[in-house]
Amino acid sequence: MAESMHERTIRRYWEAADRRNWDIFAGFLHEQVEYTLPQTRERVRGRTAFTEFNASFPGDWRIEVQSVTADDRTAVSKITFRCDGKEETGISFFEFDAGRIRRITEYWPAPYHPPVRASGSVERI
């Protein structure tokens, strides 16, 4: 399939963040964008505040997009966030309003120790 409109928006959104092109980044956002981090129960509201949240994020970080899945209402991206020799995975759920990003719900899943499994079919990789 050809890259969908929302997939293209999300790829350009991350490219703008990676390049610190904050005017371009802000252009993808709805004025009332809501950014939510459910794991820490944090929220940032509004285009200006959310752009500033990203622009002020400390460190010489880089973003690499691993995947984007999009339909005509929503998109989900998985990125690798690299900073100071460390790597984190970020998963972002996007909702759109007239082509602009209206809601972002983002998760940063960290490694954890596997539980004892009932199944004997689990390999370690």
Please report, as ranges, the residues that interact with a second copy according to CB under 8 A.
Answer: 1, 4, 7, 36-46, 49-50, 52-53, 56-58, 67, 69-76, 78, 89, 91, 93, 107-114, 117-119, 121-125
- Closest distance between a second copy and the C-beta of residue 104, in Å? 13
In the structure encoding, which two tokens stand for residue 107, read together? 């998760």
Residue number with CB closer to a second copy (63 or 70): 70
As a whole number of angstroms, the distance between CA 13 and CA 23 comes to 11
According to DSSP, the residues that pair with 77 across neighbouring strands are 68, 92
Burial class of 34 by CB neighbour count within 10 A (0 to 12, 13 to 18, 19+)? middle
Q: In the 8-state DSSP scheme, what is residue 86? A: E
> CB 86 → a second copy: shortest distance, Å?
13
Q: What's the closest the beta carbon of residue 67 comes to a second copy, in angstroms?
A: 7
Measured from the CB atom, is 23 or 87 closer to a second copy? 87
